[in-house]
Structure 1
């Protein structure tokens, strides 16, 4: 039997998603909790790996098991074994052909950026921060230039393992809620550090260092060294994969992010 889970986590206390020898990752915590319910080892595969400090409102994973448990066991039971900062939101049987990563036709990210002279206190670890005033209009003009199919090599980490830097961006928006800027991106897939590098570039434009046309230049030059520095992971949220409706999985419900900004 193949089971899919919807997971949310605060990445502040974890060393990223992917399991590692020293432990301390979200995958390590989840697999240990699943083992407590399944009575044996359980390996999970996720829709999108996240780096240390990055959060997720709707990570999706799948695993195979021969044991029969009620779906509540895969939710409340697993949550009782998980550390603070990570929780299973739902569990659902899926077809054997379903794959959390390869069945996704897109992925969504959000970046929250606090824009004020003082560093965050209450939001520490959950938002990025920039102290100089930013111009929303020019960042919106710049983000619109990211839409469509492009070679995003200028926004790719040096150790990125993706086979191709060519991705299709279907959403790249910036809005402002008081002193918080909200960046939303949706694409067929993302390169390593791509969102954080995009945010860094848009901030350079927003503070007046560059014009919106700089985005076009960077896309054409395909040189990471010419773009802005990688922005902090603190404000980055993986909002989940996009699946075809026939898989029947729950839609992500992370409107609380919007509610917190009002």
Structure 2
């Protein structure tokens, strides 16, 4: 059976998350239903990561096995036809080796979190960013972020329901930029790691926002990290500003 890698973009607002769930809409369920319209029967796809309810993606990657040979272009076009009107799109497809795996072959996940500082309610960007009304200072957040980069025990910044075998992870990058836009001052948090713990990114951003607002000092983040105690974490920010931007592989299947 030929195996195909799919690059997926979606708006997470109407979904209970990536993972298929009984009686709740999911991105996985939507794609598997579309596959069943191409080749009748049950389909199970595997993804590079399971995003939570409300989290978006620009570059989620999954793979599927099909009975017939499809050209990648025809496969993506057919799936996009059957995915309408859901906010899910197959932006690229590629045939891969039968032992290639969207999750286990991945070397890196890249996330973006968008935070907008603005007093007035958001309209066009509503549901796409986390809005805070207070002003934020960029440099203290950047200084605090340096304490999180590298190999650490991230118990403080993992959900209590996280199923990862160990809280020890390596954060390869955490860059914060400030962009003045027509809809407010946007802070963009870009994170890179081989893998992340459940709620790790949202725990980071919620804690760093406290630094930007002046409620915490940058050194307080190091103390929270060293505490290895979930109670030491700052607030966990909402999901709507989080995007899975891309997944890195030894050989990019979409680099044709």
TM range (shorter): over 0.9
Alpha carbons 2:115, 2:132 under 8 Å: kept: yes
Which residue does the alignment assign to 1:63? 64
Alpha carbons 2:15, 2:24 under 8 Å: kept: no
Which residue does the alignment assign to 1:47? 48
Which residue does the alignment assign to 2:205? 199
Secondary structure in structure 1 of the residue aligned to 2:34: helix
The alpha carbon displacement at 1:68 in A equals: 2.2
Instruction: Please identify runs of 4+ aligned residues in structure 1 that moved more than 3 A.
Output: none
The alpha carbon displacement at 1:84 in A equals: 2.6
With normalisation by structure 1, the TM-score equals 0.92
Which residue does the alignment assign to 2:176? 174
Secondary structure in structure 1 of the residue aligned to 2:201: helix
The alpha carbon displacement at 1:193 in A equals: 0.6
Alpha carbons 1:37, 1:73 under 8 Å: kept: no
Which of these residues, 125, 133, 136, is aligned with residue 134 of structure 1? 136
Q: CA RMSD in A?
A: 1.1
With normalisation by structure 2, the TM-score equals 0.94
Which residue does the alignment assign to 1:259? none
Alpha carbons 1:47, 1:240 under 8 Å: kept: no
* Structure 2: distance between partners of 1:195 and 1:48: 13
Between the two proteins, the alignment pairs up a number of residues equal to: 249
Alpha carbons 1:47, 1:61 under 8 Å: kept: yes
Alignment gaps of 5+ in structure 2: none
Q: C-alpha offsets along residues 157-184 of structure 1, whole Å, 9 cap, x if unaligned?
A: 1111011111111110111001000000
Which residue does the alignment assign to 2:196? 190
Which of these residues, 148, 151, 154, is aligned with residue 152 of structure 1? 154
Matches within 5 A, 1:31-110: 31-82=32-83, 83-110=85-112
* Structure 2: distance between partners of 1:116 and 1:60: 33
Q: C-alpha offsets along residues 77-100 of structure 1, whole Å, 9 cap, x if unaligned?
A: 010010331000111111112110
The alpha carbon displacement at 1:41 in A equals: 2.1
